[in-house]
Every structure is written in C-alpha cells, then in structure tokens.
Structure 1
Amino acid sequence: MAHEFQHKNPARLDWRSHIFIRPWHTTASKISSVDTGQAHTLDCQKEGIIFFQEETSFFFSFFKDKMPLHSSIIPDEAVFADFRKQCLSTDNWVNKYDSNGMQVWVEIPPNKGNQGSKVHNIKCKMIIKDVSAATMYDVLHDGQYRKEWDPAMLESFDIARLSANADVGYYSWLCPKPIKNRDVVSLRSWQVMDDEYIIINFSVKHPKYPPRSNLVRAVSILTGYLIKPLGPNSCSFTYLSQADPKGSLPKVVVNKASQVLAPRVMQSVHKAGQNYPEWKQKHSPDLKPWLYPEQSTLPIMDPAELSIQRADSLENVDAQNSEDSS
C-alpha cells in the first residue's frame, strides 16, 4: 500500500536547498506528485532523497517502503525545540565563568537533595567575531578536518547513515594518565534553518560496536551545538552537554573538570574555525555531505537496530573489564 505524506511547508520545496523528508526512506524508483491537478513524476536518485524543481504544494505517495514510517530514536522537531530552549534559557542555570566573551553555565538539578550523584548539564557560550556561522557548522561536521585540530582524538569515524540528517558514529579519545581512555558510540542529528544551525547527539548501542576491554565506554546523555549568525563573519556559538565519562571517576570531579575543560575546548574549536577555509580549499572543497547528502557514501542503517545507551547499564560492563585506574 502507498504511504501518503503532505509537506506542510511548500515554500521550502526547492531543489537548491536539497530538502529531504525525514525520517522516511524508500526504495521507490519514482515518486508521484499532484499539484493543482497536474501530475509530476520525479526520479529518486538516492534512497529517501527527493529533489524538487518547483516551489509548489506537492502531495506524495511513497511505494515499496524499506523502513518503518517513524523511527522514534531519530530526534524529531520536539527534541530540537527543547534543545534550543535549553541553550537560550537562563532559568535554573548558574553562571560559573564569564571572561573574554565566553560564559560557562551549570544547570541547577531539579532534585537538590541528590546533586552530587548526577553529572551536571553544562552550557558554554561564546561570541565569535571573525568566523561565520556556516564555517563553524562545517568544522563540527568535517571528520577529516577534526584530525587536524583535535589532539585528544584516538579514533573517529562515521558508521552509517540513518536518514538525510542523521547518522551514527564512533569516537575515542585520550585521557590524562592515570585515567583510562574513553570511547563513545553516538547518534548525531542536525537541523539547518535560515537563522540557526543545530547539531545534537546522544549515546546509542550498536550491535557491531560493543564496549571494548581496553577503553571505558562513556555516555552522552545529550550533547550538541546551537550556532546563530550575527553577521557575515560572526556568530554566537553555544555548546551544551550532559555526559558521563563512567568508570570510577567521582561525579563531583567530573562536574568540576567539565567547567574547566569546556572553555578550552571552545577555544580550540574557534581556532579550528579560523583555519578551516584555507584548509578546506586544499582538501575536497566541494565535498560536504552534511549539506549535500547525495555525496554521502555511508551505508544505510535501519534506526530500529539501535537503542539508547543508558548510563546505568554500563556500570557492570566497566566492572567486568580491566578496572579503571582513575
């Protein structure tokens, strides 16, 4: 049976902006549309990718579904809206650092009687006066460039594409001795609007990438970026994260360390943004699959194969492996 979908924002149906319908995937070779009595047939050049050539109201029928109509693990509009709200809110947030255009905030836990046992939700914001929002967005996506500016990275790679604006990937990083190195498998999703860029990620379980015995599997509860243009070469850059490094590190140590390390990470990303345009000109300048998903060579994965990685489910995993020396 055909599945029908009415696009609610026909003004955005423009081939120049490469609009994709998320989280739908289809193996249909053609898609039929009806616009005020006129029939159109568009060839699908990629699974789940549709190119529009007219800014009109279309009505679509999808055939031969490959994947479920709704994959709940992929963030929807409500998740992005909530993340944006957290980034912009000051209610229940305490300022811990404010210097040289950078601020660090920590959220006040709702359960005040149990603050020390949980990892803080931390937020960093800086005003960037010499790099555009679009460039900073590219920096965060470009895995090849990260090897140039992230000295803590051990290994990083994308595993599979989940939709036109979501993928799953692996990242491991060095920790100062005697703390054991960490890794994470996360689902990343992104959203580009006229006045902002959002990237969010959270930890997931992948059947082919279980925790390794020589690393501690960390957990990103919710981590992401909100980038808003302020001018042609300036932007506000907000980083929000609630992540648990696991192992035997006391949560109070994790919380304090995060407040110190976060500004350093922000400064590194800013510097990476300053150097990115020159680097990108020498390294496949037109290759940006995060903007043009038809460039992606990643295999497609059914999101149903993933599940959210809960922090508490890793407690025994760490204990069974060689103990964290931290």
Structure 2
Amino acid sequence: MQPSTPAPVTQSWSISDESLGRYVYFASESCIQELLSASDASRSDTADKWKILALENGIEISKRRSGSFHIFRSRWLLRSVSPQQFITVANAIDAAKQWDPDLVEAKYKKDICHNLSIIRLRFGDTSKPVFKNREFTVYERRETMDDGTLVVAVASLPKEIAAGLQLKQQNLIRGFLLQSGWVVEKLEDDSCMVTYIVQLDPAGWLPKFFVNRLNTRLVMIIDDLKKLAQACRVDGPI
C-alpha cells in the first residue's frame, strides 16, 4: 500500500501594514502605466500587438497575447456620461457583480490610504464554472492624472500575501486577476472615452481556450456599468 500524498499547503507571509502598503503602491503604479499605455489611441494596434476582434453595440473589443491568458480590452465612447459619473461604478465590486450575479461576498478588507484598498471577492457553488467556488483578494487604486484622466487599477495580491491576510477556505479556489482596470478620458459635452482591460486566471482545472473565450465577455460589462452610471448623480470628483 502506497503512502497517501499530503495535501499541498499554501505558504503565507505575515507582512506589516507598512510593507504591504509599499508593495501594493508599486504594484499598482505598474498596473496604472499598463492601463494608460493600452488606452493610448495614438499607438498603432499593429505595433502594440492588439488584435481587434469585434465591434458590438459601439464597443471595440481587442486582445493581446500575454503568456497563457490573453489580455482583453474594450473601448467605448459614452455620450452624456461624465467621467465622474462612470468612475462611481468603475470598481472591483461593481464589476464583479456584472461578471456573475452569484457573487456572495464583496468586502473592503483594508484601506492602505485614501485611494488604495484591499478587497475580497467570493463566488458560490451556483456561479458560472469559471467563478464557481472561487475567491479573489485584490487591490484597488484610483488615481486622477494631471490631464484629468481617471484611472482605476485592480489586480490580485500574490498568493502568499493573500494567504497571510485571509486564509483560504478548503472548498474554495483562489483565482488571480492578473491585471484589470479602467481608463476614463474626459471629452466635450459631458461625454467620456472608457477603456477597460481584463486578464483573468481563474485557476483550477479549466481549459485555457475556455477562459480566454470567457474573458471576451467580461470586457462587455461596460454596457452594464453605463446603465448604472446613468442612474448615479455625482456632485464632485473622486
């Protein structure tokens, strides 16, 4: 009789608030620069290796190869929706609600500073296969650039740091939001150009082609978020 193989143990790192803040700040800074680069309309899609997949309901959907999981981008000109209106619903929690209605937990776990937070997202056993019994521990950073462009950067913490902040439940799979976020550029007549980026690794035993196909649907949430934004009234900047 062969000995049983012990279950893998996820290593966790106990990290101080200062070290956590420093790590998340620099990681989010890199994510912000990636988002701004992806939203730059002056760059050639061919040179930047973006491939346009479709134009649906005024939304341009593109992808770029990056490792096993493609990065997907959607861009849409939102008329009569100001950047301040849209940015109120451009966050990790509202996006997750659009990804899958069976989101069972969405909590701000820790505030690093006024515009940088740690969030936990948990999906239940009735969720879609790519989210079923999965959790994500992500940072969310919101910045206003010098030209008024609004950026929201969201990505997962490394699994060791996430385990130190929130022990993973045995029945859950810890997925990874490799990078995601919004770039909202102000235009005339209270309109804005919104670029949304997402690269998701749900982990577990899912074919990569299936995950990449689903990611093309995730970037379509701009349509749903637009409706939420139109229902919001905003009196000032973020």
Mapped partners of 2:72, 2:94: distance in 1? 27
Determine the structure 1 residue equivalent to 2:155.
Answer: 202
1:180 is aligned to 2:137? no
Mapped partners of 1:129, 1:178: distance in 2? 33
Helix, strand or coil at the partner of 1:72:
helix
TM-score by length of 1: 0.56
Larger radius of gyration: 1
- Aligned residue among 166, 169, 187 for 1:230: 187
Task: Say which is worse superposed, 241-250 or 227-236, in terms of deviation.
Answer: 227-236
- Aligned residue among 276, 281, 295 for 2:232: 276
Task: Say which is worse superposed, 163-172 or 143-152, in terms of deviation.
Answer: 143-152
Q: CA deviation at 1:260?
A: 3.1
Determine the structure 2 residue equivalent to 1:165.
Answer: 115
Q: 1:202 to 1:177 in 2, by over 3 A?
A: closer
TM-score by length of 2: 0.75
Aligned length: 208
Q: 1:93 to 1:158 in 2, by over 3 A?
A: same
Mapped partners of 1:244, 1:71: distance in 2? 25
Q: CA deviation at 1:84?
A: 0.5
- Aligned residue among 33, 37, 43 for 1:85: 37
Mapped partners of 1:148, 1:247: distance in 2? 22
1:192 is aligned to 2:144? yes
Unaligned 5+ runs, structure 2: 1-16
Determine the structure 1 residue equivalent to 2:58.
Answer: 101
Tell me the C-alpha RMSD between the 2 structures.
3.1
Mapped partners of 1:240, 1:142: distance in 2? 12
Q: 1:275 to 1:186 in 2, by over 3 A?
A: same
Q: What do the CA deviations read for 1:13-45 (whole angstroms, capped 9, x no partner)?
A: xxxxxxxxxxxxxxxxxxxxxxxxxxxxxxxxx
Q: CA deviation at 1:202?
A: 1.4
Q: CA deviation at 1:211?
A: 2.1
Q: 1:274 to 1:178 in 2, by over 3 A?
A: closer
Mapped partners of 2:135, 2:154: distance in 1? 14
Mapped partners of 2:131, 2:111: distance in 1? 32
Contact 2:92 2:154 in 1 (8 A): no
Unaligned 5+ runs, structure 1: 1-65, 110-114, 292-326
Q: What do the CA deviations read for 1:118-157 (whole angstroms, capped 9, x no partner)?
A: 1111111111112111111112249699879973422101
Contact 1:94 1:108 in 2 (8 A): no
